[in-house]
Structure 1
Amino acid sequence: MNHDDAVRNYLDHTTPQYLDKLAEWIRIPSVAGVPERQRHLTRSANWLAGELRDAGFPSTEIWEGVQGPAVFAEWKAAPGAPTILIYSHHDVRAVKDENWDQTAPFEPVLRDGRLYGRGSSDAKGQVLAHIWGLAAHLAATGRTTPAVNLKWLVEGEEEAGSPGLSAILDEHRAELGADAVIFSDTLLWKAEHPALCTTVRGMVPVHLEVLGPLTDIHSGAVSGPAPNPALEISRMLTELHDEKGRIAFPAFYDSVEEISPTRREELAALPFDPADWLERSHTRSIRPEAGYSVLEQLWERPALEVIALVAGDPVGVKRATVPSMASVDISVRTVAGQSVNEVAALIRRWFEVHKSPDFDYRLSVDTETAQEPYRTPPNPVLDALSRSMAKGFEVPSVGRMGNAGGGPAELLSSRLDVPVVFFGTGLVEDNWHDSDESVRVDMLRAGAATLAFLWAELGS
């Protein structure tokens, strides 16, 4: 049996075993940013450390972060071969149990080729694909150690904005030295047309509170002359975009790099059907930006989204009051050419100009957990991964895509002085951060095969 067939044979025979492992991990509710779940983040880290030891890693450690522990592992047994650092996370997003229909969030079920449960795709499934792929690599080659030197950093607070990652990178710089980082917290384009992610957008979080009356006041007593912060925050939100739908901060687009002809050709080569996109993304319509395709808009252009908006009595019995405060959380997605500090300054300047003397305001632009955009430079690991993906997913070649979200890729690259290469097994229809999150089993298997092929190629 040749090497490629041996990899696939191993994966076929061990699929139930690794799905059981993933289900066991999903049952640990390692939710980020929720104090009562803190102990579960520790349990999740210890579970992963145990799995890595069982996989053969001779060295595993738990490193404390600000909100959750990170897992570090190292297996250096290939002198002269490349050293690859695998980055991902084991914390998951908060859930609204009442919105889940297929199963409860932390009670995984396998149904119609998908494993449902919080973290199944984002990102515990992606981490398990690495463990599975390494086992397939060892089984297919007959090796007792990997053909490359492997290090792992799986943090426990990515969903909270990675507040402790910078300190971890500084404190453990020597242990984390590598030739490249493989960043596994991204999406594929389509199951039938996988593509290799080469860019991620940056992200600047903004929180605004508008203060009106000193307390909530019965609207029948003060309606009319009372300053209503819900109306004021609505006014400000409508002015965040101009009549063409562009973000209205002055000079915001001045440093945005124009999309290169090569990148436009890469994105145009991906099959895109509006009806298919609307079905898979669960979005009602497409709001285009003039002069750009949907994929260019999604991956190469900035965006501004309201992600939380609260005023008055959003749940329960309405008290018929003018609210004393309204608040909004905004996510500003940035692209190549823009920087966190530059964008933060533009945001603060805009709010100073647009606020009214009839209200008080509290504006927070979080530059500590903000993330810079990142573009993978040409490098041998990227080329090898492209070839390995084609074999792993059994397609003639793989395309190129971006990631609409962010992540600490630029932080990893700049602190460790190495290129970051992206590889994920998720799909937009996996419902990340939403109800009924799931992962396609065949995508996990193809991802594991990709990694098994990659280690063999890099080791040669």
Structure 2
Amino acid sequence: MSRDLRGPGPGPGPEALAALAEWVAVESVSSDPDRAAQVGRSARWLVDALHGAGWPRAEVWETDGLPAVYGCRPAADPGAPVLLVYSHHDVHPADPSEWRVTAPFTPRLRAGRLYGRGASDAKGQIMCHLWALRAHLAQREAPAVTVKYLVEGEEEIGSGHLAQLLSEHAGELAADVVMVSDTMLWSLDEPAVCTLVRGSVTATLTVRGARRDLHSGAFSGAAANPVFELCRLLGLLRDGSGRVGLPRFYDAVSDPGPALRASLDTLPFRLSDWLAETGTFRADGEAGFGVPQRLWTRPSVEVARLTAGGGGAPSLGLIPAEAAADILLRLVPGQRADEVAGQLRTWLDGNRQPDFHYGLDVSPTISDPYATPEDHPALGALLRAVGGAYGAPARRIGNGGAAPAAQLSRACDAPVLFFGTGLPGDHWHGPDERAEVRALELGVRALAGFFDGLAALPRPW
């Protein structure tokens, strides 16, 4: 397969899309130990692609877990701004039985969309950057800015070794601006730039009511059932108005900046369109806020999984000894992940009942929320570049998921921008994930313009 990442014109041509499809076919599922070698293969594929595109430095960075990729393409001017692009090449698991258009790792181009696991989250977004740099270099020998890549292989499992990478390679990762490329657009008709991402705290809550599973015929009606106790606790996590029930949880919540707030207030949003694109039956969440505000500027809590009893045996005659729930809290600027983790522990301590045994395992890969400084010149350059690519002024939006933006900002002592080519209908983490070729084309144009705009900014910032 050709490694020509540009193809004809400013956007991804047939050969470029074929190269992306080749990469999407690599089963880089980081959560599956049996596919660890595939994650390594994915990293090597990207290194080869960088070398094939003329990058003088591209290499695999090993960790104590799964490998990352580093690349550097220096600017002609040694004093030019340095842009560090962060993304990930690992992908979420996929159940082939749920896919209809194609198998998860058998990419298919259909009606202007490339289907396959990772096509949008986030291999397509990474390739968009490579294509954009090739377009930027069509009229010059070297980029107007130095571009660095850090593409990790563990984002889908919590970025457990990202801190190791940032510490061990601090000098190589030094940058003036960081760009996280793992976010979504609003639509192909309304250009928008993400300026805020929520943080996250994940935890597993367990309740045990007996030393072993019990036969219901002998003990039903007298033995404690931990499933009911777990459900009672989960009901306390969110009240009737959709607010999170942790003590002091909202004390540090800050309102979005005026520019983002004004953009959200005028965002063209139709609930029926959103329900159709996401496959959701109804909108839910905190009362008093619209769907965009709930998604991006308000904290939330979700139950991601419930387990109880034996998974492989008939359950009709069983009182399970233990029940568990995976909990996910989304945080907004002003909140700190470590403080919210403490609030979760305090909440559990205040709601225990006698004689049940409780456990709370908070994941170490919690993340803080982050908001790009609203008046930073680099953000202005990105807004202008996106607006120029679309032919209309770019709005500001948020991103509902978490990204290690705060961690990257602290490590690099630099502001973080966000640029993505995903769309709400791309089915991230779901069946028939896809990337819109048109979104990739517009992304190429926007990024190529951003390189010039960033280089032209007066410094120091």
Q: TM-score range by the shorter chain?
A: over 0.9
Deviation at 1:292, TM superposition (A): 2.1
Deviation at 1:396, TM superposition (A): 1.6
- Alignment deviations for residues 202-248 of structure 1 (CA, whole Å, 9 cap, x no partner): 00011111112222221111111111111111111111112322111
Cα distance in 1 for residues equivalent to 2:330 and 2:210 = 33
Instruction: Tell me the matched-pair count.
Output: 449
Cα distance in 2 for residues equivalent to 1:61 and 1:380 = 31
Amino acid at match of 2:43: A
In structure 1, what is the equivalent of residue 132 of structure 2?
A: 133
In structure 2, what is the equivalent of residue 307 of structure 1?
A: 304
- Rate the CA distance shift 1:388–1:261 in 2: closer, same or farther, 3 A: closer
Pick the aligned partner of 2:194 from 192, 197, 209: 197
Deviation at 1:152, TM superposition (A): 0.6
Cα distance in 1 for residues equivalent to 2:313 and 2:351 = 33
Structure 1 position 27 matched with structure 2 position 17? no
Structure 1 position 17 matched with structure 2 position 15? yes
Amino acid at match of 1:243: G
Matched position secondary structure for 2:13: helix
Structure 1 position 431 matched with structure 2 position 427? yes
Deviation at 1:144, TM superposition (A): 2.4
State percent identity of aligned pairs.
46
In structure 1, what is the equivalent of residue 276 of structure 2?
A: 279
In structure 2, what is the equivalent of residue 119 of structure 1?
A: 118
Amino acid at match of 2:110: R
- Alignment deviations for residues 260-298 of structure 1 (CA, whole Å, 9 cap, x no partner): 444321111211011111111211111242332221111
Amino acid at match of 1:73: G
- Rate the CA distance shift 1:8–1:42 in 2: closer, same or farther, 3 A: closer
Cα distance in 1 for residues equivalent to 2:259 and 2:22 = 44
Amino acid at match of 2:21: A
Deviation at 1:315, TM superposition (A): 6.1
Cα distance in 2 for residues equivalent to 1:87 and 1:449 = 19
Deviation at 1:316, TM superposition (A): 5.9
Deviation at 1:68, TM superposition (A): 1.2
Pick the aligned partner of 1:146 from 143, 146, 150: 143
Cα distance in 1 for residues equivalent to 2:13 and 2:384 = 24
Deviation at 1:34, TM superposition (A): 1.2
- Alignment deviations for residues 362-398 of structure 1 (CA, whole Å, 9 cap, x no partner): 21122x2000000001322211111111222x23211
Native 8 Å contact 2:25 2:107 kept in 1: yes
Matched position secondary structure for 2:22: helix
Cα distance in 1 for residues equivalent to 2:107 and 2:314 = 35
Deviation at 1:454, TM superposition (A): 1.5
In structure 1, what is the equivalent of residue 370 of structure 2?
A: 374
In structure 2, what is the equivalent of residue 185 of structure 1?
A: 182
Native 8 Å contact 1:41 1:68 kept in 2: yes
Cα distance in 1 for residues equivalent to 2:435 and 2:73 = 28
Deviation at 1:445, TM superposition (A): 1.0
Matched position secondary structure for 1:256: coil
In structure 2, what is the equivalent of residue 58 of structure 1?
A: 56
Amino acid at match of 1:355: R
TM-score (norm. length: structure 2): 0.94
Cα distance in 2 for residues equivalent to 1:303 and 1:288 = 8
In structure 2, what is the equivalent of residue 3 of structure 1?
A: none
- Alignment deviations for residues 296-337 of structure 1 (CA, whole Å, 9 cap, x no partner): 111010000001111125566435211111111011001111
CA RMSD, Structure 1 to Structure 2 (Å) = 1.6
In structure 2, what is the equivalent of residue 4 of structure 1?
A: none
In structure 2, what is the equivalent of residue 48 of structure 1?
A: 46
Native 8 Å contact 1:72 1:154 kept in 2: yes
Cα distance in 1 for residues equivalent to 2:94 and 2:65 = 18
- Alignment deviations for residues 104-144 of structure 1 (CA, whole Å, 9 cap, x no partner): 110000111111000000000000001111111112x2x22
Matched position secondary structure for 2:445: helix
Amino acid at match of 2:426: D
Pick the aligned partner of 1:72 from 58, 70, 73: 70
Matched position secondary structure for 2:288: coil
TM-score (norm. length: structure 1): 0.94
Cα distance in 2 for residues equivalent to 1:404 and 1:210 = 30
Matched position secondary structure for 1:412: helix
Cα distance in 1 for residues equivalent to 2:250 and 2:311 = 35
Native 8 Å contact 2:193 2:395 kept in 1: yes
Cα distance in 2 for residues equivalent to 1:384 and 1:262 = 15
Native 8 Å contact 1:255 1:338 kept in 2: yes
Amino acid at match of 1:146: P
- Rate the CA distance shift 1:448–1:260 in 2: closer, same or farther, 3 A: closer
Structure 1 position 330 matched with structure 2 position 327? yes
In structure 2, what is the equivalent of residue 233 of structure 1?
A: 230
Native 8 Å contact 2:29 2:93 kept in 1: yes
Cα distance in 2 for residues equivalent to 1:90 and 1:388 = 26
Native 8 Å contact 2:80 2:146 kept in 1: yes
List gaps (5 residues or longer) in structure 2. 1-5, 457-461
In structure 2, what is the equivalent of residue 90 of structure 1?
A: 89
Native 8 Å contact 2:191 2:392 kept in 1: no
Deviation at 1:452, TM superposition (A): 1.3
Structure 1 position 413 matched with structure 2 position 416? no
List gaps (5 residues or longer) in structure 1. 1-6
In structure 2, what is the equivalent of residue 245 of structure 1?
A: 242
Native 8 Å contact 1:65 1:157 kept in 2: no
